[in-house]
Chain A
C-alpha cells in the first residue's frame, strides 16, 4: 500500500480526531464530558512520567499473561485428550457443552469469593473464561485431522507420541490458533471488568479510580491506552498466526 493510499484510508480516523479536538473547544459538547484530544494527550504524557501507567500496566500484564497462558496450555491439553480418547470425550464433553454458553463474566464474583480481592481471583477469572473456547477449538481441530494421515503415519511405524506431536497437533494448529484469538479478545474483557470491579492495581482500576475522582482527561487517556493495547495485541497475534500457518498455503 502506498503512503497516499494509507492517508486516504485512515483519513476518517484523522477527521474524528480533529472533531474530538474542536467540538469541546467551541463548546458544541461540554468539555467536562469530553475533554479535547490535546488535553487527553497531555494527561497521558504526565501519567507516563508519573509511572502510574507503567506500574498499573505491569500489574495488568502479569494477570493477563498468567490467566491467558494457563488457559491455553490446559485448554489445548484437554481438547486434544478429548479428541484422542472416546472415553474422555464421553465424560468431559457434556460438561464442556453445558458450560460453554455461560456468560463468562458471571464467574468473577465466585472467583473473588474463593480467592479474594487480589491478583489470584483475576488470573482465575481470565483463565476460566478463556479455557472453554480453547478446549473447543483444540477438540474440533484434533478431530478434524485427516484420518488417512494418522493411518499412514502409523503404517510408517510412528508411535502414539509421534502421531500426537507430528500429525495431530500440526493438523489441529489452524483451529487452535483461531480459538486462541477468541480467547485473547475474551481475556481483555474479563481483565478490564475484574479490575473495574475490585482491586487496587491494574489499568482497569486506574480507569475507575480516575473516573471516580473526576479527572476525566486522564481517564480518557487510560481508556485509549487499554483500547490500543487490545487492538495491537489482536493485530500482533494475527501477524504471528499468519507467519506460523504459512506452510498451509
Chain B
C-alpha cells in the first residue's frame, strides 16, 4: 500500500468503474426516465417496479413453475437433438450409404428457417408439449450433425493409424480414439444448439401458449400488464446467460484432459 496515488482513484479502479458505468447508467436512466414520466408507465415501467414484480412472481411460484416448464421442454428437445445429431453425424462420417442419403438433406436443411414449420408441427403433434419438443429437436439437430460430422472426419489420421497398427478393432477405434478426439468440436456444436433450443421454446410458447416463460410473457402483453412483460424479459435474459455459462463450465469439466484446457 506504499504506492503513490495519482489522483483520486487508482487506474485499475477507474477502469472497473468505467466498465460498470454503462450498466449502472442504463439502470439509473431507466429508473429516472420512468419516474419522470418521459414515457408512460405502460410503455416503460420503472426498473424498481419491474424488479419488485420479478421478486413477487418468484415468491408466488409463478416464475419457478414457468421456468420449470420452459427448461423441461428445452432440455427434452435439446437432448433428443444431441443424441440424434451425434449418432447421425458419426454414421455419416463412417458409412458411405448414410452419407449419400443425409448429405443433401443436411446441406439443404441446415440453413432453412425451421421456425416456419411451426404450424406443420402443430398440425402433426397438437398444441401441447410434444409439438414444442419436436420443434426444438428439429431446429437444433442440424448444428449438432454438422459439428459431429466435421469433427469425426477431421480426427488426426496419425492417431487412427497408430491405433490401428496396435491392432485396435473398429469398435474400440470408434469409442476410444474417434469419439474422444472429436469431443471438443462436438461440444461446440452443442453449445450452438442450446441457445437455439431456448429461442425456439420461447417462440413456441408465445405462439401456442401452454404457460412457460414465453407463454406468460405473451399473456402479460395481451392484458397490457407491462411490468409482467419486462419482468419476463429480465427472467429470460438471466436464464439465457446462466445456460451459456453452465455450458462453458461443463465443457471445461468434460474436456479437462484435452489440450485446450491446458492454457
Contacts and interface: CB of A to CB of B under 8 A. Distances in A.
A90 interface: yes
A91 B21 CA distance: 6
B214 A105 contact: yes
Interface in B20-62: 20-23, 26, 42-43
Interface residues of A, number: 53
Interface residues of B, number: 56
A107 B233 contact: yes
Contact of A114 (B43, B195, B202, B239): B43
Contacts of A226: 113, 116
Contacts of B232: 106, 109
B111 A235 contact: yes
A9 interface: yes
Chain B interface SS verdict (over half): helix
Interface in B202-234: 202-203, 206-207, 213-214, 217-218, 220-221, 226, 229-230, 232-233
B251 to A, nearest CB: 15
A211 to B, nearest CB: 4
Interface string B105-133: 10010011111111110111000000000
A164 B230 CA distance: 39
A87 B102 CA distance: 49
Contacts of A94: 19-20, 22-23
B23 A223 contact: no
A60 to B, nearest CB: 11
A55 interface: no
Contacts of B198: 103
A106 B236 contact: yes
A155 B22 CA distance: 35
A231 B112 contact: yes
A226 B108 CA distance: 13
Contacts of A16: 105
Contact of B111 (A113, A185, A191, A220): A185
B218 A109 contact: yes
Contacts of A192: 113, 115-116
A214 B70 CA distance: 28
A145 B66 CA distance: 45
Interface in A107-142: 107-110, 112-114
A103 B18 contact: no
B100 interface: yes
Contacts of A207: 116, 119
B13 interface: no
A105 B123 contact: no
A99 B116 contact: no
Nearest to B247: A101
A91 B232 CA distance: 26
Given A33-B123, A101-B240, A109 B101 contact: no
Given A101-B243, A223-B120, A109 B229 contact: yes
A99 B207 contact: no
B119 A208 contact: yes
B154 interface: no
A184 to B, nearest CB: 9
B241 A12 contact: no
B230 A110 contact: yes
A62 interface: no
B20 A113 contact: no
Interface string B86-106: 000000000000001111110
Contacts of B9: none
B118 A106 contact: no
Contacts of A114: 43
Contacts of A188: 113, 115
Given A91-B21, A196-B115, 10 more contacts: A12-B105, A92-B22, A98-B23, A113-B221, A113-B226, A188-B113, A192-B115, A193-B203, A196-B207, A231-B111
Interface of A: 8-13, 16, 33, 87, 90-95, 98-99, 101-110, 112-114, 185, 188-189, 191-193, 196-197, 203-204, 207-208, 211, 216, 219-220, 223, 226-227, 230-231, 234-235
Interface of B: 15, 18-23, 26, 42-43, 100-105, 108, 111-120, 122-124, 195, 198-200, 202-203, 206-207, 213-214, 217-218, 220-221, 226, 229-230, 232-233, 236-237, 239-241, 243-244
Shortest beta-carbon contacts, A-B, top 3: A188-B113, A234-B111, A211-B119
